[in-house]
Amino acid sequence: MEFLLLGSVALYFLSALGSLSFGRRSPGGWIVPLSSVLSSLMAVLPLVSVLACGSILDFRVPWGFPVGSFHVRMDMLSGWFVLILSLVSPAVALYGRGYLSNRGETVRGSWTGFFLQMLSGGIFMVLISYDGILFLLSWEIMSMAAFFLVMFDHPREENRRAGWIYLVATHLGTAFLFFMFFLLGAKAGSFDLDSLLGLGGMANLVFPLAIVGFGAKAGFLGLHLWLPEAHPAAPSHGSALMSGVMVKTGIYGVLRVLAMAQEWPQWWGWLLLILGVASGLGGVVHSVVQRDLKRLLAFCTVENMGIILIGLGIGVLGTGYDRSVGVIAMGGALLHCLNHSLFKAGLFMAAGSVIKTAGTGDMDWLGGLCRTMPRTGTAFLVLCLSVCGLPPFNGFVGEFLIYTASYLTVVPGAMSSVGLRIGGFVAISSLALVGGLAAMAFLKAYGMVFLGFSRSDGAAKADPGSDMVVPMSSLTILCLVLGLAGSASILMAGSVATAVHPLDLSLGSLTPLAEVSKAYLNVSFISFVLFGAGFWLWRLRARLQRDRTVSLGPVWGCGYGNPSARMQYTGSSFSQPVFAAFRSFLRSEVAGSLPEGYFPGPSIFHADTSGVFHRYFYGPLFGTVMKVVGEARKLHHGGTHLYVFYVFAALVAVLLWSLR
Amino acid sequence: MDRLFALVAVAVALVAAPFLKTVINRTKAAVAGRQGPPLLLPYRSLVRLMSKGAVYGSQTTWIFRAGPVVSLVSTMGALCLVPFAGRPALVHFEGDILLMAYLMGVGRFFTVFAAMDTGSSFEGMGADREAFFSALTEPSLLLGVAGLGAITGSLSLSGIYGKLGGSAFLGSNLPALIFILAAFVIVYLVENSRIPVDDPTTHLELTMIHEVMVLDHCGIDLAFIEYGGALKLWTMGLLVSGLVFPGGTGSLWLDVLLSLCCLMGFQVVVGLVESSSARLKMGRVPLLLAVAFVMSTLWIMWVVR
């Protein structure tokens, strides 16, 4: 088992090198997808033994470094996230082959393959490292591989800027993680996670560090700045892997810290909940007003991280009062991690297909692709329904769990603590609002890209090849299957959630999850019945229309018989109500001129929503840092006599200190 | 027995739902001093639409044709979850309110997609308003139900409405119930596109919301949409009228009779509201929804101590 697990990781790194060595030749294109598929197949047995049988795979060898050791372990929590990686990674690799083909750039293709596999391998290592030093090492491999993917199209200036922002963000996060691990390691005398159990009594100091460190990777609101920059810049399969899986390592880190802590103070739950509400609402409001498809998806990732955090928050809060609520919400958060990976990776792939065939990702220049790219259009439709958490697709299952847990907190029962009830109250209202606005974002995304008239001549000619459609469709089908088999996935996620719980768990704690899972059978049942009813109505419709005149004509335009694509509603107009309602939050800069006079000339409208945090927090912060650093530069003007003086001063200082 | 009753209740809803439109329209006519439409007009227009052919926009896709079917089917699904006369609904489980709210969401999704598929600006306008206003009603609905759950100690609609009768009313929870009722009424008006948010009888495309989204549908598609709208009136009407009269008189027939009267009475109230108020400016609608949201949060003052 351990051998298979290590082989599966090693294969990623080997295929990365393989992609470099053979990538210039045509068969090299197959190395990356094949090895990813093989890797996932190798991981099947270990995953089954961990997730289904509850065994723990552990492998440890000392290494040459003075600190740490090569200690790898896969338990339930790691296994769950490895499962996510193993599902998404092959699809991404296969898609990448199609996405990079006929770009006439085999060199870049081979490098992209290299970094893609390094990223997958790095994520894998992060998930199974059971030693602080090894963890940080893997964390850096993962972060740097992602950086090079963001820089894929480096000749364009905005991409270099995106890469730069990402680099700063990720290293700010890593700095906090270093601090956290060294605090823990110094106290415990070892970096092995086993010896850090209970967080050495520094739990309340470690937790905020973990939130900032892991939050920078997961894109919590305030630490999310790199997401909307980096995802559009990376090649689409890179964004799919980053947004689908890499971002989840941040969530994994938070969960790992929770699992290591022996008990969870209440304020952790509140912190997670408030962060979740902020990320959810902030992410979704920004998402609605984006013009660029991939930026919209990136902000939507922030929003979904918010939903996951709300689940974690209720989970941690609920644990203090009533175990069942905690387990249900945790299960919901974990399940939403899996689901979000599937549909977000699929959505990025669909967006990549659109960008590749239509040549732009700007929604105000797209439209009508449903007719030229039917397969991509249908897949995107299903993925939109999933991401909005609509039944019967998989997004609904995770949200259903988190909602149910929140509802359980307000219903009087074993616990009637006011604090917990307020928590549930906040969770329900924000989840509902986030859900509604997310629907708006995706109505816009799908409607503007795939429906109506094409808004520019450069719109797509045809569906991309099957090597791009197949991986996307397979994720789409997974979304439907996991949604219809929601009861099973609830039980799966539930068993992982119980493993994270700090309490000593008996088998009895699974009963609330079993109840929810049983309740969900009704949802699947109703879905099937409604599918049948819909099919019957569709048939009825066809039969009634069979012998009548059904003709085509122009749509109603108030008597104006010559509508053009330019007169269509654009994405910007569609999101105007949200734009207006959240004006004070978005702080957009709007410039433009209305048509005036009897013979109006051209009019212009331009809105820039760069985000509040850029302008009001990070701008001033980095400005101050620059000032301070600029002052410090004066100490270092290059004159030798100054340095001699420094040496002398240091000597004197040391002398004085030793004479104390 | 409960199952059978629920089945009959659904069947009655499927037959009688269009009649609610008549009730509203007759009320409006009475207030305006007109005679009003014939009692069975909604049925006649459904039959008329069912027997027509169709004209489709030259570049609409299958989504335009599937939209009405999906939205009708999802409303039917929601109908099966709502209890009638205090008896359990056809399908009930812990958390079925979520399925109900999100099924409505599916219907809305496809209505909006079908509208956007036409590529007409009017429909885009209607689509974005509908999507935005609905997004703002969601928290009120779900929080209101959370409040009801907190009062009755149940998580499913059938449990909540089944336990509301009698004591829950006259206790200290009465103010909470009244506020939730007010929130639900606002949600009802918005979701069913009635005045003061939207006017179902308006004739100016620029000011329409729901009506403009279905401008280009005709024939059987329009019949599906009209019928789905009627079912939605019934489904959401039960949520409101179930609060006013939750049943529990002890006699089945009396419960059914009073529930039906309550539902019809509520439609009369809607008709009166429509006759006596004008539409809000578009920019004001979010404020109305904010009011609904506040109303649906106030229960916490009475219920959670």
User: Mind listing the pLDDT tens digit for each residue in A445-461?
Assistant: 999 999 888 887 766 56
Please name the residues between 179 and 208 in chain B that touch chain A, using a CB distance below 8 Å: 205
d(CA B16, CA B43): 10
Q: Which of B50, B135, B221 sits opposite A436 (nearest CB)?
A: B135
- Cis upstream peptide for A600 (omega within 30°): no
Residues of chain B found within 8 Å of residue A425, distances taken between Cβ atoms: 143, 146, 297, 300, 304
* Burial degree of A636 (CB within 10 A; 0-12, 13-18, 19+): exposed
Instruction: Flag the least confident range among A217-226, A454-463, B72-81.
Output: A454-463
For B90-107, what is the mean pLDDT? Answer: 91
Residues B138, A432: C-beta atoms closer than 8 Å: yes
* Summary mean pLDDT of chain B: 88
Give the pair of three-digit tokens for residue B275: 């006759």
- Give the model's pLDDT for residue A357: 85
Residues A425, B56: C-beta atoms closer than 8 Å: no
Beta bridge partners of A192: A131
- Give the model's pLDDT for residue B30: 93
* Burial degree of A561 (CB within 10 A; 0-12, 13-18, 19+): exposed
Question: A416 and A503 in contact (C-beta within 8 Å)?
Answer: no
Residues A576, B128: C-beta atoms closer than 8 Å: yes
Instruction: Flag the least confident range among A68-72, A84-88, A323-327, A481-485.
Output: A323-327
How many residues in total does chain B contain?
Answer: 305
B36 falls in which pLDDT band (50, 70, 90)?
A: confident
Nearest to A556 by CA among B278, B217, B190: B217
- Angle between helix A226-233 and helix A132-150 axes, rounded to 10 deg: 60
d(CA A211, CA A217): 10
Question: A233 and A162 in contact (C-beta within 8 Å)?
Answer: yes
Q: Exposed e or buried b for every residue in A330-368, given b needs 16+ CB within 10 A?
A: bbbbbbbbbbbbbbbbbbbbbbbbbbbbbebbbbbbbbb
d(CA A593, CA A601): 10
- Give the model's pLDDT for residue A574: 83
- Give the model's pLDDT for residue B166: 59
Give yes or no for residue A104 having a pLDDT over 70: no
d(CA B70, CA B201): 24
Instruction: Flag the least confident range among A407-411, A481-485, A627-631, B300-304.
Output: B300-304
A474 falls in which pLDDT band (50, 70, 90)?
A: very high
Nearest to A94 by CA among A171, A30, A154: A30
Give the chain B residue nearest A386 (alpha carbons). Answer: B106
CA A566 to chain B, closest CA, distance in angstroms equals 10
Give the pair of three-digit tokens for residue A220: 């919590």
Cα Rg, chain A, nearest whole Å: 26
Note whether B82 contacts A: Cβ–Cβ < 8 A.
no
Nearest to A288 by CA among A450, A455, A447: A447
d(CA A73, CA A129): 6
Give the chain B residue nearest A414 (alpha carbons). Answer: B153
Note whether B38 contacts A: Cβ–Cβ < 8 A.
no
Task: Identify which has the larger pLDDT, A320 or A51.
Answer: A51
Residues A451, B116: C-beta atoms closer than 8 Å: yes
**Which of A375, A387, A407, A562 has the highest number of chain B CBs within 10 A, making it the mutation to test binding with B?**
A407
* A543, A547, A550, A551: CA torsion to nearest 10: 150
d(CA B194, CA B179): 20
CB atoms within 10 A of CB B200: 17
Task: Identify which has the larger pLDDT, A326 or B235.
Answer: B235
- Give the model's pLDDT for residue A341: 95
Number of alpha carbons in the 13 Å side-chain half-sphere of residue B147: 31
The identity of residue B251, as a single letter, is: S
The identity of residue A431, as a single letter, is: L
Note whether A548 contacts B: Cβ–Cβ < 8 A.
yes
Give the pair of three-digit tokens for residue A455: 């808004």
CA A449 to chain B, closest CA, distance in angstroms equals 11
CB atoms within 10 A of CB A189: 9
* Summary mean pLDDT of chain A: 86
A513 falls in which pLDDT band (50, 70, 90)?
A: confident
Instruction: Flag the least confident range among A78-82, A86-90, A200-204, A545-549.
Output: A200-204
User: Which DSSP symbol is given to A1?
Assistant: -
d(CA A143, CA A214): 12
B53 falls in which pLDDT band (50, 70, 90)?
A: confident
CB atoms within 10 A of CB A523: 27
For A302-312, what is the mean pLDDT? Answer: 95
Residues B143, A554: C-beta atoms closer than 8 Å: no
Residues A553, B95: C-beta atoms closer than 8 Å: no
Cβ partners under 8 Å of residue B285, min gap 6: B133, B190, B197
d(CA A102, CA A94): 15
| Listed ranges A62-66, A138-142, A364-368; the one with the highest mean pLDDT | A138-142
Give the chain B residue nearest A405 (alpha carbons). Answer: B95
Terminal C-alpha separation, chain A: 59
Give yes or no for residue A507 having a pLDDT over 50: no
Note whether B231 contacts A: Cβ–Cβ < 8 A.
no
Chain centre to alpha carbon of residue A258: 20
Question: B118 and B64 in contact (C-beta within 8 Å)?
Answer: yes
CB atoms within 10 A of CB B167: 10
CA A553 to chain B, closest CA, distance in angstroms equals 5
Q: Which of A432, A439, A554 sits opposite B57 (nearest CB)?
A: A554
Residues B53, A545: C-beta atoms closer than 8 Å: yes
Nearest to B280 by CA among B105, B54, B66, B129: B129
Sign, CA torsion A144/A147/A152/A153 = negative
Residues of chain B found within 8 Å of residue A552, distances taken between Cβ atoms: 55-58
Percent of chain B with pLDDT over 90: 49
A227 falls in which pLDDT band (50, 70, 90)?
A: confident
Give the chain B residue nearest A548 (alpha carbons). Answer: B53
Task: Identify which has the larger pLDDT, A109 or A379.
Answer: A379
Nearest to B55 by CA among B47, B46, B64, B66: B64
For A570-577, what is the mean pLDDT? Answer: 82
Residues B304, A421: C-beta atoms closer than 8 Å: yes
Residues B155, A552: C-beta atoms closer than 8 Å: no
Cβ partners under 8 Å of residue B42, min gap 6: B18, B19, B21, B22, B226, B230
User: Which DSSP symbol is given to A28?
Assistant: H
Residues A425, B141: C-beta atoms closer than 8 Å: no
Question: A435 and A389 in contact (C-beta within 8 Å)?
Answer: yes
Question: In a 3-state reduction of DSSP, which class is residue A201?
Answer: helix
Give yes or no for residue A501 having a pLDDT over 80: no
DSSP element (H, E) containing B178: helix B174-191
Task: Identify which has the larger pLDDT, A578 or B267.
Answer: B267
Residues A552, B56: C-beta atoms closer than 8 Å: yes
For A137-150, what is the mean pLDDT? Answer: 94
Q: Which of B149, B216, B283 sits opposite A407 (nearest CB)?
A: B149
Give the pair of three-digit tokens for residue A449: 């890209």
- Give the model's pLDDT for residue A102: 64
Residues of chain B found within 8 Å of residue A448, distances taken between Cβ atoms: 116
**Which of B106, B156, B206 has the highest number of chain A CBs within 10 A, making it the mutation to test binding with A?**
B106
Beta bridge partners of B208: none
Give yes or no for residue A509 having a pLDDT over 70: no
Instruction: Flag the least confident range among A12-21, A116-125, A451-460.
Output: A451-460
Pairing of strands A57-61, A70-74: antiparallel
d(CA B223, CA B46): 5
Vertex B191 angle, CA B185 and B192, to 5°: 90
Pairing of strands B54-57, A589-593: unpaired
Please name the residues between 486 and 545 in chain A that touch chain B, using a CB distance below 8 Å: 515-516, 518-520, 522-523, 525-526, 529-530, 533-534, 537-538, 541, 544-545
Residues of chain A found within 8 Å of residue B231, distances taken between Cβ atoms: none
Task: Identify which has the larger pLDDT, A489 or A466.
Answer: A489
- Give the model's pLDDT for residue A421: 85
Give the chain B residue nearest A441 (alpha carbons). Answer: B131
For A54-75, what is the mean pLDDT? Answer: 84
Q: Which of B59, B93, B103 sits opposite A453 (nearest CB)?
A: B59
CA A590 to chain B, closest CA, distance in angstroms equals 19
Residues of chain A found within 8 Å of residue B191, distances taken between Cβ atoms: none
Give yes or no for residue A504 having a pLDDT over 60: no
- Give the model's pLDDT for residue B224: 94
Residue A552 backbone phi and psi in degrees, to 5: -110, 150
Please name the residues between 98 and 157 in chain B that touch chain A, using a CB distance below 8 Å: 98-99, 101-103, 105-106, 108-109, 112-113, 116-125, 127-129, 131-132, 134-139, 141-143, 146-147, 149-150, 153-155
Q: Which of B143, B220, B305 sits opposite A541 (nearest CB)?
A: B220
Residues of chain B found within 8 Å of residue A568, distances taken between Cβ atoms: 119-121, 124
User: The whole model's pTM is what?
Assistant: 0.93
For A76-94, what is the mean pLDDT? Answer: 93
Give the pair of three-digit tokens for residue A196: 């850090």
Cβ partners under 8 Å of residue B30, min gap 6: B36
Give the pair of three-digit tokens for residue A259: 């699992």
- Give the model's pLDDT for residue A314: 92
Note whether A4 contacts B: Cβ–Cβ < 8 A.
no
Please name the residues between 406 and 425 in chain A that touch chain B, using a CB distance below 8 Å: 406-408, 410-413, 416, 418, 421-422, 424-425
For B189-208, what is the mean pLDDT? Answer: 82
Residues of chain B found within 8 Å of residue A281, distances taken between Cβ atoms: none
Question: B268 and B27 in contact (C-beta within 8 Å)?
Answer: yes
Sign, CA torsion A186/A187/A193/A194 = positive
d(CA B23, CA B37): 10
Note whether A625 contacts B: Cβ–Cβ < 8 A.
no
